[in-house]
Amino acid sequence: MQPDLRITLPDDWHVHLRDDEMLEAVAGHTARRFGRAMIMPNLDPPITTVAQANDYRARVLDAAAAASGDTRPFDPKMVLYLTADLSIDDLIRGHQAGSVLAVKYYPAGATTNSASGGTSIISFKPVLEAMAEHGIPLLVHAEATSAELDIFDREAAFLETEMQPVCEELPELSVTVEHLSTAAGVALVRSYANTSGSITPHHLSCDRSDLLANGMRPHLYCKPVINSRTDRDALRAAAVSGDKRFFLGTDSAPHPLATKEAEVVRAGIFNAPYALEVVAEVFYQEGALGDLERFVSINGAVRYGFEPSDKLIRLRRRSEEEVAKDPPADLVTSEGVRVRMFGVAEANLWTIA
């Protein structure tokens, strides 16, 4: 008999919804599948004030309501981009008012729209100290940017030179290492009491051979990059362990097809439509479906101070005898821009309602 289970409505603790036409096209996919979503602030220009966050949240809600076709409430959680211009007073007021949940650190030049990022986390120590005092979480894109570093070593290097000093100097600061990609990241999270880690569907299901071994697959290119089989297995072990420090953050990041199939490829994987199917298949392969709910629905909510949803969803794995129609592989925006979706194979294996 194929698995058939009901779990608490999941949350996505790391998602890129973009803005304007792309926001209108993608927001409904996140709103249909998740009760809450942590919305990344790396727009151009970035979200650095509470007023900007409030305005962006309103646009997100409008786009989600127009596209989701679902009357279930959707709760986007807003994040400010850590820059030299960020006001501590504005941040604290916004957090106390419930307008802003967290602050995101990007190393300058590490990924999409990261030009406004920093060159050292600890250089923001006055902001971090205020965040620790007021219980405001720090979200970190953990990737060194030195051209001398091998691309596959950049997360581990960042953790050693940037993340460890912050965790040791500011042990009261709540830190989430976003989109973990290595065994080193898993080890760091387990080494510090106030540190957690989000893990993506693509880092759980793929390794760098999927990216490179049989022809370069640009739609698997993301930052930090998908790493070795050993790293993938460490991420899987962490996810299925039930450890409350690890939870789902899809890092769903839409890019037009033209920028993913180009001479210089943009980093990002759009997985929101089929993220849960991919993760469910990973847990099925690992014989750990009993721990799926903790990873996608419980751990992240508890980490950020929320009660898990009182809504349930049903996941059922199709039998071999069932014939499934191929789900769409591309999203098309209102202006005809195509975006490739990750997880089509897994979406053929699972139904979610």
Which of the residues 207, 231, 251, 291 is marked catalytic?
251
Beta carbons of 103 and 97 less than 8 angstroms apart:
no
* Distance of alpha carbon 192 from alpha carbon 189, whole angstroms: 6
51 Cβ partners below 8 Å, 6+ apart?
none
Q: Kindly report the CA angle at 79 between 76 and 85, in degrees rounded to 5?
A: 150
* Distance of alpha carbon 128 from alpha carbon 145, whole angstroms: 22
Per DSSP bridges, beta strands 102-105 and 138-140 are parallel
* Distance of alpha carbon 146 from alpha carbon 326, whole angstroms: 42
* Distance of alpha carbon 33 from alpha carbon 308, whole angstroms: 14
Interaxial angle between packed helices 229-240 and 183-191, expressed in degrees from 0 to 180 and rounded to the nearest 10: 40
- Alpha carbon of 113 to those of 253, 258, 285: distances in Å? 12, 18, 35
Structure tokens at 127: 């902001």
Q: What are phi and psi of 329, to 5 degrees?
A: -95, -20
Strand stretches in the chain, DSSP E? 4-8, 12-15, 36-39, 75-81, 102-105, 138-140, 175-177, 195-199, 246-248, 312-317, 330-332, 338-340, 350-352
Catalytic annotation present for 251: yes
Structure tokens at 200: 């993506």
Torsion sign across C-alpha atoms 101, 103, 109, 113 = positive
213 Cβ partners below 8 Å, 6+ apart?
none
So which residues are the catalytic ones? 251
